[in-house]
Structure 1
């Protein structure tokens, strides 16, 4: 068989038309350029295989729920329990049964560009999603744990239709109109919780970037309200902003 040009081989790879027969022929091609292309292709295929396997693993809880005749399965997660400033945000999402997004994972494991891209896909493809934002004043009033549960419940209540089953990241919610289960590190074990974690984090990060413009001293756009060295130094130097959580010890100790 006549050897194909590098350009043709690149196009076959790009179009996903590299058959096993062609791959076998390319392995016998002595051109360094061909072998380099083949090596990159095989590396990419291995990466995609691992992503496929991880995505399938993360559908286990959903598959079990579907097997019990649950039609709508929701995931719920929060962002912002630990920071010294800003709100806590929760998101709930119902994904369609055929949802597929390779690389979906705990939002903290993804870079900002990927989170933003995935967030848009999740919003577009989801059956329904809800987002709740509980500000720092409410956090100070009822404590961060209760505020987190409140945010989760509000996000859940925005879902239409009402889910048949709810997967929650590490928190127990009471008096739900459906069955539920709390999963430790659920954002890395369930695609529904992972999707919710991305919606919550992207929403909260955007809020903190907006607060940064109002109070640039604390560098909220970078630290998202967490107690970094710079943030702590600025707290001591200029005091707390109206968006700091006064019930949190490092903030209580400075002049507001």
Structure 2
């Protein structure tokens, strides 16, 4: 699992007393006294609930976000990165809370009675703690795979677009001019996107497939690819005639766009095509 985790820590807390039932830290950023902070989280929830007549669901700090899920007797709190998908986090909290209510509360009693007779030994809920660990691990691994797949898709899409543009019907001298001007435009981008240093640019296109998606955040990748498309379209348009440019767009680029329009729409790349090529 990557060091860049979405879920930094979790607490399952008894709502009335603030007692810590289960807690887990998945990042050095939250390796504090988990038992000490549990009553504070419970008190914060109670204060907001009573003072504003609203149910507390999230609190944002400068770097993290606290997400709450509650029932009559329990609070489940998750501290996540600001980049974490909030909808996913809520689903995980609801799912885990349902798991606790279904499989940790004996059939012959209810959660209130169970907690009343519980003396605070957290080992009683070790099995549920292991369940939470597995749930978080599976989410982080799956989320990484999804983001990696999305990054790879974007690289493939833009690679096709760049190759289509460089198939423009012009002389070798003008293609070299396009490459030379692109290299000039690229220099300021390398400070923002140093991973572009490893990307070859030649008559065949811009070989973005060589970018290591495991080391580049998705939003940085998307921003850099969009900027490359904007620049390549600009330089090509300024180097060849309008007729040649238009033929390139419709004969080479749009052929690919029509063939793979669903993927372009999925990643909002179709907007880039319209914005920068037309």
TM-score (norm 1): 0.28
Higher relative contact order (CA 8 A, sep 6+): 1
Larger Rg: 2
If each structure's helix is expressed as a fraction of its own residues, which one has the higher value? 2
Question: TM-score, normalising length from structure 2?
Answer: 0.26
